């Protein structure tokens, strides 16, 4: 009997074919993605699914806007702020975009220092990123409050097409929820980095292999995705 045939006869996993073999592989306490950690692979899968959700939202928005017969509100007027007696168009949105893009830079540096095992700098930069995210959510809450006071509702608004309100609150609200969740997890990961949980492999949620800062990188993947989505929202919703 050839060595390969002998191995197949003695190894029950080698005898499995089709779906049973896939189940056996994924449940055998082995890494299905040999060069990628489970956490990173699952985050990529989640981000892929989230991409479809945001893509559907933005495509629906564009379809509604192009098909409605009622004039669409002018974003430069709706989102203008009165500063010194003059209406400055999109100034708040520009600040929000700057803050979120800046947070991507601090997040990237946090990942860099994490893999250098510089706990203090990585934790501080994670917290700075969380502060930027909280600032973004705060400005978005101010924006929502201003529009609600002006009479904008999910079912209509006094400035034009009724679909404007539902599109705005759905898209920006869903994105704002992602940012809020990201801020929460940034604080959790920063605390674990500061305590040295990734150096001593302390048990608990969001842990990784001893000496590895994969959780920081996974958090970075999520945060960069949130920032990238905002760029598309900014371009499609506010500049169009």
Tell me the Ramachandran region of residue 177: left when phi exceeds 0, alpha when psi lies from -120 to 50, beta otherwise.
alpha
Tokens representing residue 174 in the block: 């869903």
Q: Map residue 208 onto helix, strand or coil.
A: coil
Block residue for tokens 């929460």: 184
For residue 174, with 0-12 CB atoms within 10 Å meaning exposed, 13-18 middle and 19 or more buried, which class applies? middle
**What per-residue confidence (pLDDT) applies to 110?**
96
**What per-residue confidence (pLDDT) applies to 141?**
96
**What per-residue confidence (pLDDT) applies to 211?**
54
**What per-residue confidence (pLDDT) applies to 20?**
74
The model carries a pTM of 0.82
For the chain, domains (ranges, CATH) are 1-30 (no CATH), 37-238 (1.20.120.80)
For residue 125, with 0-12 CB atoms within 10 Å meaning exposed, 13-18 middle and 19 or more buried, which class applies? buried
Mean pLDDT split into 10-residue runs, the chain, 240 residues: 47 57 59 67 93 95 92 90 88 95 96 91 97 97 93 88 92 97 96 84 62 84 96 92
CA distances, 53 to each of 65, 68, 220 (Å): 18, 23, 20
**What per-residue confidence (pLDDT) applies to 24?**
66
């Amino acid at each position: 009997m050839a060595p390969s045939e002998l191995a197949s006869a003695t190894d029950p996993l080698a005898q499995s074919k089709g779906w049973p073999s896939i189940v056996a592989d994924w449940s055998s306490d082995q890494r299905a993605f040999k060069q990628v950690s489970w956490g990173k692979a699952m985050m990529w899968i989640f981000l892929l699914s989230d991409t479809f959700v945001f893509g559907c939202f933005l495509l629906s928005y564009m379809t509604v806007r192009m098909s409605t017969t009622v004039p669409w509100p002018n974003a430069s007027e709706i989102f203008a702020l009165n500063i010194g007696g003059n209406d400055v168009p999109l100034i708040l949105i520009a600040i929000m975009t700057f803050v979120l893009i800046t947070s991507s830079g601090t997040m990237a540096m946090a990942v860099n220092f994490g893999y250098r095992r510089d706990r203090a700098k990585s934790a501080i930069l994670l917290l700075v990123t969380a502060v930027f995210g909280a600032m973004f959510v705060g400005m978005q809450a101010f924006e929502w409050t201003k529009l609600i006071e002006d009479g904008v509702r999910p079912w209509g608004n006094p400035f034009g097409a009724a679909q404007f309100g539902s599109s705005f609150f759905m898209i920006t609200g869903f994105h704002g929820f992602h940012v809020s969740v990201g801020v929460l997890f940034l604080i959790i990961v920063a605390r674990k980095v500061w305590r040295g949980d990734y150096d001593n492999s302390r048990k608990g949620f969001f842990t990784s292999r001893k000496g590895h800062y994969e959780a920081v990188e996974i958090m970075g993947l999520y945060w960069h995705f949130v920032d990238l989505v905002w760029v598309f929202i900014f371009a499609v919703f506010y500049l169009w």
